[in-house]
Structure formats: structure tokens, C-alpha cells
Structure 1
């Protein structure tokens, strides 16, 4: 059964309870958005694999997957919406976007290529992206918001080849690290720290020359390219997957893509990738439960607020970072549980989406500001790079990956 037939076969599972729409971040701020139930199961009964001319709200969905997390029947609502987007890009009635929007989709979808360009001269690129003239040009030429945050580039994370042989050779404990575009090109230090943490607990880390996971491409209508990236990445991982080597991610969106989307690809390794992919802290917690995680922590006297990214919530693994960090003496963390940040990958970068994205993130921004004003914490933690960018944009409060606190406890970094 193909993906669309499988999705439509589950339509009757929708109970019309409207929980998904009640919890949808976009529906809360956009009265013209029909909500996940309306755009997903309700419209799917009419689509049945066909594009409906005039269906203009498909791109209003931010793909945060809150609807799927809250659905009591487990209906894959965002998958239905993505399939409808695919149908809208092909066939005799395909959606004809303006040249500006087609170019924007091409540019925003190519996070990997933008990263490769940005890290050639990161200082120059970062300064250029702050210029009002450049932001004006991006707005007028590509409909990229002048007011939205743009991630800064830094020293890229290096590829680490398997020089010691594949699993089963000289190294008995090893992992594959899938860093994702943000870590690789915007925040390479986080990737380097992660590798040192994994080495500290006894694992050799291999970082193949991966392409983008494909999620930014799908979010911007580049479905064929996303599929090609997935097949390429799976082929790189195949020998390690067959040897039982875990795949570790530090980006929640990449992790969700590897766990949920890659198993559907027609490639060797696709049936193994979902079960062998772990968020970093998920992996560490499993080691802790087996009493294999070193607990040689130094005290870290600090208080933090914590934001749970939507795509980590969608993985159904809870909050492993909180469980691990609470093992560190002196660390206090408050889980704000204030909903989506609003940026949702490239969603909030788009000119027509910026104000909605800020409204979606407003409850989170308020929770952060209140926590800081009351003295509960002075910094924020979150695993998602774009959530970090959005929180700092909406509050000006320093935000970082929780991995850095663990590295400090292990005496790997001093900050």
C-alpha cells in the first residue's frame, strides 16, 4: 500500500473531537486557517489523491506536528497535509506560484547550500545579513521578512571519516553522528562539544559527509530533492546500520526525520534507521538506565529555563535532557512548557508568516521574560537551533543547547 492509500485508509480513525485544532498553534493566531482537522482528514475525503484547485491554506500549516501529538486516535494529520502539498506541485492542476515564491522556496529549502556559502567567509556573511539594505532586498526579492531573525554562521563542523575500520573492527563502541545543517554550518562548536562528550563516555564518533536531512526541502515544496537526500544519507549509513551502530542526533527535527520519514524510503537500511536513531540525551539516558553512563560530574551552580521543541515532543521520548541534567549537582531547571516558539524551521522567516510566528511564540516569550524577572533563571536551554534563534529574537535572553551544561559538568568546557 502506498503512502497516500495508507493515509486515506485511516480517515475513519478521526473522531471529529477537534482536539488537534484546539491545540494547533497556527489556528490560535490565524482565524482563516481551517485547522488540522479541516485541512487534514476533512479535506482528505474530498481530495483522495487529487489536488483541489483553490485550496490555498496548505502552506499555512507549520508542520510542528502538535496535532499528531495531541490526536487521541493517532491520525497522521501532517502527513496528509504534506501529501496534499505534493499533489499541488504536480499534475494538470498544479499550483503555479509566482517567481518570487518559487525562488524563495528554492533558497530556504537549500539550508545545506546556504550553509556551505555562509561558512566560506562567516564574518562577512554575518555582517552582510545585518545590513538594512540586504534585508530590504531579501524582503522585496524573495519575500523573506526584514524583521525576522537569521542564524549566524561560524566555523563548520568537520567530517570525521572512519579511519579505524567499520563496526566490528578495532573499535567496539562507536556511533554515527548526524549533525544537521544548523549544527554543521551555524553552530559547529555544539557538534565538536558533542563529539568530546561521546568520547568522554567511551564512544568513537564518525561524522560522514551527510547531505541535509530533507526536512527544509519538504517544507518548501522541494519533495524530489528531499527524497534524493534521504536515499543518499541512508546509503552512507547502511554499513553501520547493518552492523548495529547507533545513529545520534543533536537536532530534534533531523532526529524526527530520520525516525519517521526515512523508514518509508525504498532503500537498504530504511527498515533499521528508525529503531537505531537516538536523540543525544535519549541515548545517554538509556546508558544511565544500564548503569553505563559515567557520573563523574563536577557541581554546576546554575538555574535555567527549558523549552521543549515541538519535534522532540513528536518523538514521544519525553524530556531526556531534563532527566540527565538533573543528575548534575547544583543544576536547577524549570520546564516552561509554553508551546511552540513559532519559527518552525523556515516558516517564520517568510514575510507573510512573520507576524503570525511571533504571535505563536508570544506565550513562550512571556514565560521566559517572567521567569527572568522573578529570578528563577537567567538563561534558556533548548535542543533545537531554530528555537534558540527565535527565543533570543523574542526575548533577548541567552539560549543554548543543554549539551553545553553536560560538557561543563564533565569538565570538557569551562563556560
Structure 2
């Protein structure tokens, strides 16, 4: 499909990182891996490119209000920039509070008995920022990070994926 010109995306930053950085490191001489790498995008990176080219429909039906957005570590390491916030900010009457701090989940770190307490401690500053934002929505591009943070807040607010927020804005 990459040879046919298709672009690819994944809704989880660690999956995007795998296709864009990890697989090419494991197979540096494989031209097929390089082709997929070059056609793989973070969803909001892709939408930002479409917007820049004048191809993104922005006839949003519903504002989102205040959003507390935890920027996932796997997204930051890709050096994509704040594309999720930029796209969500296109929705009228939407205000983004970006929180660029680790959720403390780190794969299985946040669910192992031995590391759970420290994981909760690492999440606390993010939880405090989410609570202080008094936002209508809390989001993180990483479902595990979002769920971990929301758990510490008793799911008030619950974590929502930014693609789900975009769907709401479109009225879908």
C-alpha cells in the first residue's frame, strides 16, 4: 500500500514511534521499511499537514470548551511539535491547556505491584494540573497515560482520546 501512495497512522504515539523510528533502526537497509516510515504519521501531524495544504475540512459543529491535554512522552520524543493542540485549537471556542509532563505510566511501570506507588507519585503533578485547569475535557494521545492520570482523579474528568474530541467537534 505504501508503494501505491497510501499514508498510514496509528492512534497511539508508541505505535507511530515504532513505525517511524524503531523498525527503521532494526532494518536500516530495508527499502520497504523506509518507505513505510516515510508514509507513517501521527494522526494530528497528518491533519496539520492537510490543514497546511488547505485540505482539512474545518466546518466544526460543536465547540469543545476548555481541554486539559497531557502531551504523551512518545509523542514528544518524535519532535512532531504540538500538532494535537494546534488542530484542536481550530475548533471555535476551544481553549487548550497543554501539560508537558510524564504521566508516570511508562508501559507496564504503572501497573506493576512493585512500581505502582512510585508511578502514582509521578502522575500526581499532572493530575494536579488537570484538576486546576477545571476543563470540560481531559485528553492524552496515549490511552494508557490518559487512563492512568484519570484514575488518579477518580475519572473526573474521564480521559478522552483527542480523536474522539475531534469527532465531537465535527458532530459525529
Q: Is the 8 A contact 1:348 1:357 kept in 2?
A: yes
The yes-or-no answer on 1:410 pairing with 2:170 is: yes
Superposition deviation, residue 401 in structure 1: 0.7
8 Å Cα contact 2:62/2:168 also seen in 1: no
Contact kept? 1:255, 1:278, Cα under 8 Å = yes
- In 2, Cα distance between the equivalents of 1:317 and 1:325? 15
- Structure 2 distance, partners of 1:347, 1:273, is 30
- CA shift, 1:403, in A, is 1.1
Structure 2 distance, partners of 1:361, 1:301, is 25
For residues 166-210 of structure 1, the C-alpha deviation after alignment (integer angstroms, 9 at most, x for no partner) is: xxxxxxxxxxxxxxxxxxxxxxxxxxxxxxxxxxxxxxxxxxxxx
Given that residues 64 and 91 in structure 2 are in contact (C-alpha distance below 8 angstroms), is that contact kept between their aligned partners in structure 1?
no
In the alignment, which of 363, 384, 399 is matched to residue 142 of structure 2? 384
SS of equivalent to 2:2:
helix
- When the two structures are superposed, what TM-score results if normalisation uses the length of structure 2? 0.91
Aligned to 2:66: 303
Task: Report the secondary structure of 2:151's partner residue.
Answer: helix
2:161 to 376, 381, 401: 401
SS of residue in 2 equivalent to 1:346? coil
- 1:389 Cα deviation after fit: 1.2
2-structure distance, mates of 1:359, 1:399:
19
The C-alpha deviation readout for 1:275-299, integer Å capped at 9, x for no partner, is 2110111101000000011121123
**Compared with structure 1, are the counterparts of its residues 282 and 259 closer, same or farther at alpha carbon in structure 2 (3 Å cutoff)?**
same
* Contact residue 11 and residue 141 of structure 2 kept, 8 A: yes
Higher helix share: 1
| C-alpha distance in structure 2 between counterparts of 1:405 and 1:349, whole Å | 26
1:247-396 paired onto structure 2 within 5 Å = 247-266=8-27, 267=30, 269-337=32-100, 339-372=101-134, 377-396=135-154
Give aligned pairs, total.
168
More strand as a share of residues: 2
Q: Look up the SS of the partner of 1:306 in the other structure.
A: strand
Give SS of 1:348's match.
coil
Shift of 1:301: 4.7
Report SS of the residue matched to 2:110.
helix
What 5-or-longer segments of structure 1 have no aligned partner?
1-239
Higher relative contact order, chain-length normalized (CA < 8 Å, sep 6+): 2
CA distance in structure 2 between the aligned counterparts of 1:391 and 1:360, rounded to whole angstroms: 10
Matched, 1:242 2:13: no
Aligned partners of 2:88 and 2:126: how far apart in 1? 21
Contact 2:67 2:138 in 1 (8 A): yes
Q: Distance in 1 between matches of 2:44 and 2:99?
A: 19
**What is the RMSD of the two structures over their aligned residues, measured on CA atoms?**
1.5
Q: Which has the larger radius of gyration?
A: 1
Q: Does structure 1 retain, via aligned residues, the 8 Å contact 2:62–2:171?
A: no
What residue in structure 2 maps to residue 30 of structure 1? Answer: none
Task: State the Cα distance separating 1:268 from its structure 2 match.
Answer: 5.2
